Structure formats: C-alpha cells, structure tokens
A and B are shown apart, each in its own frame.
Chain A
Amino acid sequence: MYDRKQMEEILKENVVNLRFHARGGQGGVTASNLCVEAFYGYGICQPRFGAERMGSPTESYVRLSANEDLIRSNEQVYAPHFVSVLDPSLLSEVDVIAGVPKGGWLIVNTALNQQEIQEIVGRKDINIATIDATRIALEVLGRNITNTIILGALIRVSHLFTLDELADAVMRRFKDNIAAKNVEAIKQAIEDTCVYDIGIQMDFTQDTKISWQQVELGLPGYKEVDKAGVWYCDEETIPVGSDQVRTGSWGEWDIIWDEETCTDCAQCWFICPDFAILREKGEDGKYHMIGIDREHCKSCQNCLEVCPVNAISKQLKQGPASCAVPEEELKEAN
C-alpha cells in the first residue's frame, strides 16, 4: 500500500497507470473519468477505442502524474499499476492482469479471498484488494452499480486522491441525492476493503511495456494477408470472427425454450442475430429446433418477441451482469 506522501513523491516525476475492467453499462468509463476529475495533478482517460455494447467486456485506462509533460503522451496504457475489476465474472473471461508489473495491485469487486483470486489469475507476485461492492451497492444505493464504490478501494491502497477530492468530483457529476449516496458508499468501501499486501513495491521509474507489443506479432503480416483484404469464410486467415466471441456472457437473461410448446416455425431462427437458435435435421428430412446456444446468446430477446406460441421465456441470470437491466424491467421480472 502507498500512503499519500509516498504517492505524491512517486507522482512528481512518474506516471501512474490505471485500468478498469467492467461490462458495458456498469460504468467503468465513468469510474475512470472520476479518477481524472478527482486527481490534483494532470490526468488523461481513454476508453478502449471502438464500439461498446451493453454487457460486453469493456476496458478504460487512466494516466496520472504531477508532471504535465509526461501526461501529454496519447499513447495507450500497456503496463497498469492498479487494475480495478468491477465484475468478478470477468476474472476468468478477460486477461485482467495483462501487463501488470510485479507488485502491481489488482482490485476486485468480489467476495472471494486472496488465494482464490490468485488461482484464477495465475499470479502470486501481485497485491490484491477485494471489496464486496455489490453488497454495498445494494445496501446503500439500492441498485447494483459498483463503479464509484470500487474507487473507495482504490483510495485505500493507492491514496492517489483523497475521499474529499473524489467526493467533490462525484458531487459535480451526479445530482445531489444520488451524489450523497455514492459518497456514503465510497466511505464504507474504504473501510470494508480487504487488503492482501504481499510486501512488494513497484518500480514506477520502469515502464514495463513490452517492445513493439502494439504491433501484435503472431497475427499475419502484410506479406501474408489477402491482397484485397478479404476474409474468406473457408480460410483461417483472420483468427477472429463472430462465432469466436463469447457473446453469451454479455446478456442479463437466460433464454428458456419449451420443447413441448414449440411448433418449429423457425421464426426465431430467422431473427436471431447470433445464430444462437440450434436446429438439427430430423429423420423426417426437416429441420427441428433443439435448443439455444448459451455461449452466443446475448439475450437480445428478439426470439421471445417473435415467437407466436410463447415457447420462449426468460429468467434473470444470477450475478452482477444483471446490473445492466433497467429498473422497470427488473420490477416486471420480479
């Protein structure tokens, strides 16, 4: 852990990098913006550039320093000193400790302990802090929104900014009563954070970015890609594609199919954007629905809307991904 004095000394001539992992709708980008707003020196915050969708894993980055010249760089963050994970289901889905130097901090919203987290991420040379932010959020805010609460844990281990500085930023950003509740939740988070300090300090003067990692060796080079930039379906030229993205983790709902009621009209099969309606050719030579591909169903609920015989229903998933569901819809489901 770093106290305020140590941190101020570090920030004089070094950059401190942060990374936030969340799901679209959980407010990871807001959390990183608040860091820049609360910080006394110079800061810059970048989301991972591209499209963000509800429920999909998101990343955002923050760089802070008291030296303006160091913050002027628009380079992306490769070696985060502090990583905050807003949704524990991301621990096994995303490489949350990528680029974290020895002695770096991993802050997780979870009820798991140090050993369990170490096992999931596969590293023992990093410090861990946990905060059951979901519990605090439900108790204090009455909603599962954990983005400000995780900043309480960040304050506890880093002292990059004080509670007062963060409270100011929160007050500026949110409406009065919501802001006050958030500040109360942050206060509680600072107290409730479990800190597992392994006693290794980071060397902030060394940037541990791997040379040329932005060029992503391993992917095909210009001599190997198709000459017209085409991604042919039958070739493995480009090792990504929609069937390899596990969109199933994005959704808040489990979609349930009732075989008895289903008439095999296949309207759901036509409307599904992710080919998540599974069908099989039966002995009669016709296609029959056999189920739903949970790995790719992101619960857009188009099938539910289109089904003429109500053979498809939904059930709220367990776990924090459900925080993205609008309140009215939740009430309906309960």
Chain B
Amino acid sequence: MKLFFREIKEPIETTMIGNYAVAGGVTQTDPDVICAFPITPQTQSVEGLSDVVHQGRLKAAFVNVESELAAMSFSTAACAAGARTFTATASQGYLLMTEALPMAVGWRVPLTMMISARAFNSPNLSIWNTWEFTETNSEIGWNTIVSENVQETYDAAILSVMISEDSLFPTMFIHDGFIISHSVQNLTLIPDETVRKLTPKKPRHRITPKKPGTWGGIVTPSYFMEFRKSLDVDKEPVLGIMEDVFDRFEKATGRKYNLIETYNLDNSSKTAFLTMGSMSGNIISWMTKNKDVGLIKIRTFRPFPHEQLQKIVQDHGLEKLIILEKSDSLNGMLPPFSMSVASALYPLGTLFRSFIVGLGGRDVTRDELDIARRKMENVTDMKGKLYMYLGVRETKDKIYGVNM
C-alpha cells in the first residue's frame, strides 16, 4: 500500500495483490466515506484503505460498523447525502446486506462496492471462491462488472465510480476470492491526476436541508408501479453508458475494455468457451496450445449484454458454446449465469451446455477444459440435462463424468 501514501505522478509498473490494488484504486477516486465490515477474502481491501486514511493521504470518513447490514445501510445513506462512498463484502456478508441492497438502487445513489467472490455456507463453511453474487440479488438492479486479474480489478475500482456516477445506479465490481484477491500480479497504476479527471464529483440529487423531502416513504398501489417502470426505463441506457465509460478510460490509460471481450472466435470448430472472471485467464493460456476453440469473456454481468452477445454469436457463426460457471442452482434448469446466457441465446437456438466447475475454491485446470470441449463435440441438440458438474469425486476412486 505504501505506493498509495504519496501522489502518483506517472504510470507505475508494480506488483500487488488484488485487494491492495483495489484499495489503491479506490483511494485514487477520492471517496468521502468508506464503510465496510471485514470478511475473508475481502479484508485487505478495507485494511488498505484504513492505512491511507490513517496516513492522512485520503481525507475520508472511515466508519466502523457492527455488521454488513449496517455497512450497506450507512453507505447508502451517506451516498444519498452526497458523499462518494465505497464498501466491500463477500459471501455471508453479502447475504446480510440483502435487506438494504434494493434501496441503493431505488434512491439512485452512485455507491460502489467490491465483492471478493466467496461461497455461501451450505452445507459447510467455505472461505474460498464461488460466484455467490450470481446466485442471489442479481435482479435487484445493481450494475455488476467482473474482473479477470489484478490489473482489471484495479481498473474496475475506478471504472465503477465512473459508471455509478454517470448512470446513477450503484455498481459492484467482482473478483474471484483468493485467486485474484490474494495473488500477486503485475499491474500498471494510473497517475492520480488522470483518475481525478476521469472521476470528477458532479452535482446530483441528494438529501439536503435546503430541499426537504421524504426518502423511501410508503406509497399506495396508485404509485408503486410507476416508480418501478421509471427505474426500468432509466436502466435501459446503462450498457451504453458503460461503453462510453470504457472509451473514455481507454483514451486516458490505453487499456481497452468492453462489455464482452472475445478471443479467437473465427476458429475451425465454430465453438467457444463462455465465462467470466479469473477462469478466462486459464482458458487463454490453454488456448496457446488449443487453437481450434474460442473464448467469450463476459465483463458486464448486470445489466446482461444480451443483444451484444447475440450479435457476436451471429457475426462469427458460432454453433456451440461451452459455458463454464462457478455457481450452481439446486432448483433450476440451469445455474444462474448460464440462465442469463440461455435467455440471450433463445432466439438464435445456439447449442450449449453448462459446466459447473471450481466451487469452493477447487482449482480449474486444463483437465476440465479438455473434457468440457470433448463432451461438447458430441452435443447435437438441446435435449436432456443441460448442465453437469466437472471435477468432482463420485466415489473414492472415480471422478464424476470422467472415464480414466
């Protein structure tokens, strides 16, 4: 964190763990209020921020609270009062926040939150990576962007502030717990001046004694639907706003982001992996030796860029998609991330299967990628079960779905 105790005057190439990179990125966006409750594997991000506040580098109110519910309530209120606010959580903490999450959307506060993705406890406690953020609360209306590596999660800390401020919807940015939060990777830091220019504090609606009003008051059935539809209308341009933010970010830093990023889609098998987060890196490394498969990496999980995905699949004539996902659904036809993809693909009829991998921190290796591709070769229709677990022991001497 020491790097962030001083003004960063020019781009610095350095190495850092994901959580400190986030703390640094957030520092540079000059938040007024930081309010979070610690939970593994998110802890160092808030720890880092307490450091910069303590050092006097960041003039922010660092507020300790007794729980995640308090953290989210406090952050939403602080943000509504006009403060730029950051919070962070994971897993059970995210669940405890649930009650307060919808109001941040409804009040249109530009709050940002980091999530170090970690499994929900069931049936056992796990501190390791699962995409819990896809399993609940994803329809409440928070913008959600997912990062692959330390550089991306650092940039996402800044991008999220830009997206929240421009869309006036709260934004959360995700990285895979431990895999990114605790890995030391190379990254390039952006000069403070550049970040300041990217994230100016603009005037917006806020709680103020000059204009008294009731925030969050009860409404009868005569009003509720109109307010909901109004939110829906305002949500429509958000993907466009994100694209615009990515463009401005590229002009300032040279790093190009997209709602969806693609690799090697014009391949001979007309097949592509489709995933988010740190697994994209595993696939890109694997693709150096497996050139007949492509990769679609979704950066924006919410709002889900369904039209953009349809266009990509059509433009490249893709016939089969292999969805890799680190979450499962015990009731659904498909796990949650695949469900969003399936809805987008519905009009196209593209063949796909969903593979559930890497739950609770199980490593996802070339073995999973090899076998997922092999299984996809035999898929010719959309009948039967559309998902399967990969990399799980069936018995002491047998791996489920794998003939060794």
Residues of A within 8 A of B (CB): 32-33, 36-37, 42-47, 49-50, 67, 69-76, 78, 209, 211-212, 214-224, 228-230
Contact = CB atoms under 8 A, between A and B. Distances in A.
Interface residues of B, number: 46
A220 B398 CA distance: 10
Contacts of B179: 46, 49, 74
Contacts of B284: 69, 72-73
Main secondary structure of the interface of A (DSSP, over half): loop
Contacts of B127: 50
A33 B184 contact: yes
B396 A221 contact: yes
Interface string B55-85: 0000000000000000000000000000000
A216 B365 contact: no
B329 interface: no
Contacts, number: 121
A37 B15 contact: yes
Contacts of B392: 215, 221-222
B269 interface: no
B395 interface: yes
A44 B185 contact: yes
B393 A219 contact: yes
A228 B282 contact: no
7 tightest A-B CB contacts, nearest first: A229-B123, A73-B285, A221-B393, A72-B281, A45-B184, A49-B178, A221-B395
Contact of B396 (A42, A214, A219): A219
B91 to A, nearest CB: 15
B393 A214 contact: no
B106 interface: no
A224 B395 CA distance: 6
Contact of A72 (B149, B366, B404): B149
A49 B361 contact: yes
A212 B123 CA distance: 24
B281 A74 contact: yes
Contacts of A212: 367, 391, 399, 402, 404
Given A49-B182, A73-B285, A224 B396 contact: yes
Contact of A217 (B176, B367, B397): B397
Contacts of A229: 123-124
A136 to B, nearest CB: 26
A47 B185 CA distance: 12
A232 B342 CA distance: 41
Contacts of A230: 123
B255 to A, nearest CB: 14
A219 B15 CA distance: 37
Contacts of A45: 15, 183-185
A228 B124 CA distance: 9
A36 B150 CA distance: 14
Contact of B393 (A36, A44, A217): A217
Nearest to A38: B15
Nearest to A209: B365
B394 A76 contact: no
B399 A220 contact: no
